[in-house]
Amino acid sequence: MIIAGLIALPITMRLEKVAKGETIPGQHAPKPALMPAPAPKPDARIVRLRSFFAKLRCPVAYLAQDFVEAADDNQLDWRLLPSISVVESGGGKAARNNNIFGWNNGNQLFPTLRAGINQVAFKLGKSSLYRDRDSAGKLRIYNPDESYVHTVMDVMNRISPVVNLESMSRVVRRQNEFVYAAD
């Protein structure tokens, strides 16, 4: 009887610890269930650019992320390339040879639209002709027509009057005007 009690006591204590969620000597604590990482917040510039292209029914709307990434890779204002494409080809509506920028008077052939975006972004950001100039300076060289800079800059401001959208959390529309609200 005493022997039966001595054997039953450790089993009973072990069951109590398991019921309470305590760890048992010689065993590791159970690992908590892994929670999936929250989805990354979408880049507000890409969202804004897709919306802008969609309103104009531009066929290049699906390339919004490519425009933003190419601008980032080449230290350009993220609105510059899309604005040039809207002015030069209606955002791809009148493009020839995958050239939505009118590059080389519209005669430049690009293998794909993405290749054109990346090549023009590289030239505007890295070539000695355009490097170290602000957007207006780049545009004066891109097209020397006096009204060109104003036209493209107007489109840039229609895409977004704010260059850095990261500080904005939401846009609230009130009676035909935009109010930018931060958290």
Tokens representing residue 16 in the block: 């109590």
**Domains of the chain: total:** 1
pTM to 2 decimal places: 0.71
Q: Which of 6-20, 97-111, 140-154 has the lowest mean pLDDT?
A: 6-20
In a domain, 116, yes or no: yes
The proportion of the chain whose per-residue pLDDT surpasses 90, expressed as a percent, equals: 64
Spell out the alpha helix ranges (H) of 21-96: 44-56, 64-73, 80-89
- CATH (domain of 152): 1.10.530.10
In a domain, 25, yes or no: no
In a domain, 23, yes or no: no
In a domain, 147, yes or no: yes
Average pLDDT in the chain: 83
Domain span including residue 73:
44-179
For residues 107-133, b (16+ Cβ closer than 10 Å) or e, as one string? ebebeebeebbbbbbebbbeeeebeee
In a domain, 77, yes or no: yes
In a domain, 127, yes or no: yes
Query: Residue 68 — pLDDT band, cuts 50, 70, 90?
Result: very high
In a domain, 112, yes or no: yes
In a domain, 173, yes or no: yes
